[in-house]
């Protein structure tokens, strides 16, 4: 018997069948494309997302047999915005969470930013769904009977015929009040969003729906945003650990328990999940992660493989005074500057390819340190990490060194799929809570080293926007 983790990410869709011991037994994967129609515009094809989700789901069920599937846990890229008509046809491409097209609109609403933060826990930024949805609706003012959703909602609509989202995903729309736990009428009015467009909000765990558009019927036992899923996999509700997912972006989260934390500066307060109770979390969302290494490889040709970045960086004792500003899609936490652009600084005639590559990796670790420094809690036992970029041993060791904190890398790097599967498995009784936590493959212990974080941080201060 198996539980399925269905992970609909930014660059790919993955289905993983986990066995009774929580081990990954079968995997099916399909890549997803991104399009860049204008500078700062980033989109995806909703039909491609749907079709490739169908492919991986059918493939994995065929491998294990549908009678051997207990249920599905679904997780997804968050904030990406879709609108479709009553026939299920998208009216516009999916606007990616990385898209910056509404930066000017956000700037025009700066007078309202503090109220938005108080209601939603979110800074006023194009990252979140509200201004993306407003932008799409402005393109189609006469369309009727439209539906809005993030990726979870889009897929659930087509898999199950129901218009649903969960508390973790809806808390990223900038339309949902995380204190009252309902859509906020004042925010809906601000962005001219009709309430009837919005999905019904359900708990992150439960008998949420059943698939209908296949030759088999499977229950969906969990729906949760990808970073909250990784937090559940890595830390559950333990407040002494923090997790960092190094994926397309980098997302650090700390579980705060059942009470919303107050006076959080420059970070996101969000709903982690809702099971019996609502759990809150603090998050630092950094937009440059694995996408930056992909840029080094595919666009600049500085490395032939992502693994080469590890080798080149390890050959040097430092970056030769070169800093990288990791703002290829604006700056997220803790700076929140949508207009910042990426650049290298400190280049000299002696600077070489390895210095450039190492400076990029160091910037990923420095971003993380900046977020850790901004967390309301200051003492943690370990940083638990997941995501494909964590295979880079140089980065993981450097991260441990500059944080002066152990970094624990799991043997299961796909923590998002695991977390969604765990919620589903715990609800169905397929797993018990004692068997939830993943095995630790490697522990990186901090060493005393010289590093340039203070100089990097001082330079980055000029890009920090007042929240």
Task: Give residue-wise pLDDT tens across range 8-24.
Answer: 998 899 999 999 888 88
Looking at residue 466, its pLDDT comes to: 47
Looking at residue 76, its pLDDT comes to: 95
- 438 pLDDT higher than 70: no
- 452 pLDDT higher than 60: yes
- The Cα–Cα gap between 368 and 251 comes to 9
- 248 pLDDT higher than 90: no
- 437 pLDDT higher than 60: no
Residues 44-63 pLDDT 10s = 999 999 999 999 999 999 88
**Mean per-residue pLDDT, 295-317:** 86
* Cβ neighbours for 215, distance < 8 A, ≥ 6 positions apart: none
Contact 284, 333 (CB under 8 A): yes
- 171 pLDDT higher than 90: yes
* Cβ neighbours for 234, distance < 8 A, ≥ 6 positions apart: 241, 243, 384, 385, 386, 410, 415, 419, 438
Q: What is the CA radius of gyration of the chain?
A: 21
State phi, psi for 383 to the nearest 5 degrees.
-105, 120
- 467 pLDDT higher than 60: no
Q: Report the half-sphere exposure of 367 (CA within 13 A, side-chain side).
A: 33
Cα–chain-centroid distance for residue 122?
A: 15
Output the CATH code of domain 2-226: 3.30.420.40
């Amino acid at each position: 018997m198996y539980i399925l983790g269905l992970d609909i990410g930014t660059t790919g869709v993955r289905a993983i069948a986990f066995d009774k011991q929580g081990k990954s037994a079968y995997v099916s994967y399909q890549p997803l494309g991104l399009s860049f129609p204008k500078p700062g515009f980033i989109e995806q094809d909703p039909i491609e997302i749907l079709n490739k989700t169908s492919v991986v789901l059918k493939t994995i069920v065929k491998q294990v047999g549908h009678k051997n599937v207990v249920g599905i846990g679904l997780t997804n890229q968050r904030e990406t915005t879709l609108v479709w008509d009553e026939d299920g046809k998208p009216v516009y491409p999916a606007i990616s969470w990385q898209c910056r097209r509404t930066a000017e609109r956000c700037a025009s609403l700066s007078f309202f930013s503090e109220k938005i933060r108080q209601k939603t826990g979110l800074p006023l930024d194009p990252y979140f769904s509200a201004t993306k949805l407003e932008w799409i609706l402005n393109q189609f003012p006469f369309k009727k009977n439209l539906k809005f959703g993030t990726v979870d909602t889009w897929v659930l609509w087509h898999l199950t015929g129901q218009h649903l989202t969960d508390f973790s995903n809806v808390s990223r729309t900038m339309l949902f009040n995380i204190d009252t736990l309902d859509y906020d009428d004042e925010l809906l009015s601000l962005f001219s969003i009709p309430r009837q467009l919005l999905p019904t909000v359900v708990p992150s765990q439960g008998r949420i729906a059943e698939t209908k558009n296949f030759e088999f019927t499977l229950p969906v036992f969990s729906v949760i945003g990808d970073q909250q899923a990784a937090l559940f996999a890595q830390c559950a509700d333990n407040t002494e650990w923090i997790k960092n997912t190094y994926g397309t972006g980098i997302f650090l989260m700390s579980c705060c328990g059942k009470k919303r934390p107050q006076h959080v500066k420059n970070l996101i307060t969000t709903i982690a999940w809702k099971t019996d109770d609502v759990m809150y979390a603090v998050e630092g969302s950094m937009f440059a992660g694995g996408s930056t290494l992909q840029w080094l490889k595919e666009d600049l040709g500085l490395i032939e493989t992502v693994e080469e970045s590890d080798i080149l960086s390890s050959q040097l004792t430092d970056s030769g005074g070169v800093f990288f500003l990791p703002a290829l899609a604006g700056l997220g936490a803790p700076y929140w500057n949508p207009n910042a652009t990426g650049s290298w600084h400190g280049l000299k005639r002696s600077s070489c390819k390895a210095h450039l590559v190492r400076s990029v990796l160091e910037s990923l670790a420095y971003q993380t340190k900046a977020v850790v420094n901004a967390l309301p809690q200051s003492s943690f036992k370990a940083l638990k990490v997941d995501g494909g970029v964590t295979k880079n041993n140089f980065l993981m060791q450097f991260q441990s060194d500059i944080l002066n904190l152990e970094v624990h890398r799991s043997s299961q790097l796909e923590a998002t799929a695991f977390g969604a599967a765990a919620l589903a498995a715990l609800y169905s009784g397929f797993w018990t809570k004692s068997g939830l936590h993943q095995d630790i493959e490697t522990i990186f212990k901090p060493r005393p080293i010289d590093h340039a974080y203070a100089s990097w941080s001082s330079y980055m201060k000029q890009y920090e926007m007042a929240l």
